[in-house]
Amino acid sequence: MHRIIYPIKCRRMYLNILRRLCNSFRTTRLTPELTPVIILAANCRVLTSSPRVHYSHSVQTLEQLKDMRVHIIPALQDNYMYLLVDEASKQAAIVDPVEPEKVMNVVNKEQVKLTAVLTTHHHLDHSGGNAQIVTMVPNLLVYGNDDRIAAQNKPVKHQDKFQVGQLSVTALATPCHTSGHICYYVESEDHKSRAVFTGDTLFVGGCGKFFEGTAEEMFHALCEVLASLPGDTQVYCGHEYTVKNLMYASHVEPASDAVKGKLDWSKERRSNNEPTIPSTISEELSFNPFMRVKEKTVQEHCSTTDPLAAMAYLRKEKDGFKYPNL
Ligand SMILES: [Zn+2]
């Protein structure tokens, strides 16, 4: 693919353009003309006569579980891509590869065989690299649940199962943020390692905006589908939003030690540019207000005893929330 060079000499200006691109692309179809722009933006390179400047919101890290590992790869302004590796076969899947070149650097360095793309939803800060990565790796299986996802060739629906090497993956339909949103639940063959890739449905301490769905749908996604996963399931979400999410959580439940402890830990991690990912389902149930709408403390904050009304209240309040000291 040829690159478009823009006369942009300031990183801050460049990042602002990227932010605007990501926002405006949320409801826009990716066209061939836009592809190099988003990829260029994704690469966050300032193209001047000086050497390329790389921007990264976090350091790249690795989670080693029994029989599988997850490379946490930062992307764009605050997105994460995840390279899931089956230790037995060295087959790998990539979740939301918005920066394909960065993904392929890790794939090549780790000497794994990339066989699948797991797309959580169509927003271009998640699916915007699909069209390019299928040109870089032959025969890639591109999973997803939305015709707006580029290069999707393996449509999945709720509870569909497939393998990545010895790892079993189950698609969980969680419509609300987008109507076709899928979370991917992964288990090792002996069922001892578990992870769920939650895109923009569940964040650490929060959840995605209800762009194409209702409070009832988010309640179903968070409090029924995801809450029913084993408590030790690791949660890998689509964005680094943890500190702000927990600031809001401490407004909802100011007396919560779980919120305070995780917020302090998250601030410390972010001060070193370290990801706050993963959490676990048990942890989320202890501090994430959107997963706690059946709890008395959260319901009292929302002045209701109805979990669905509490869900709607929290989303609306958080959307207008003024974050202290940010
Ligand atoms: Zn999204």
Per-residue pLDDT reduced to its tens digit, 38-68: 555 555 443 333 334 457 999 999 999 999 9
Q: Is residue 17 part of a domain?
A: yes
Q: Active site includes 181?
A: no
283, part of any domain = no
Asked if the model's pLDDT at residue 232 lies above 90, the reply is yes
Quick check: is 54 catalytic? Answer: no
**67 catalytic residue (yes or no):** no
Nearest CA-CA partner of 11 in 50, 58, 44? 44
**Ligand 1 being an ion, which residues bring their Cβ within 5 A of it?**
123, 200
Does residue 233 lie in a domain region? Answer: no
Q: Give the pLDDT mean for 249-258.
A: 98
The boundaries of the domain holding residue 70 are 61-206
Last residue of a domain, one of 55, 74, 99: 55
pLDDT for the residue numbered 324: 81
Could you report the per-residue pLDDT of 276-314, keeping only the tens digit for each?
Answer: 999 999 999 999 999 999 999 999 999 999 999 999 999
HSE of 210, CA atoms in CB hemisphere, 13 A: 20
125 is catalytic: yes
Residues 102 and 176 in one domain: yes
Asked whether residue 80 falls in the same domain as residue 179, the answer is: yes
Residue 23 has pLDDT above 80, yes or no: no
Q: Which of 71, 122, 123, 220 is catalytic?
A: 123
Q: Supply the mean pLDDT for the chain.
A: 89
Residue 36: predicted pLDDT: 54
How many domains does the chain divide into?
A: 2
Q: How many whole angstroms from 180 Cα to the centroid of ligand 1?
A: 11
For the entire predicted model, the pTM comes to 0.85
Choose one of 153, 182, 206: the last residue of a domain. 206
Q: Is residue 46 part of a domain?
A: yes
Please check the confidence at residue 130 and state whether its pLDDT lies above 90: yes
Whether residue 111 sits in one domain with residue 20? no
Q: Which of 86, 125, 220, 301 is catalytic?
A: 125
Query: Tell me, what's the pLDDT at 262?
Result: 98
pLDDT of residue 6: 40
Which entry of 71, 200, 220, 301 is annotated as an active-site residue? 200
177, 181, 220, 301: the catalytic one is: 177
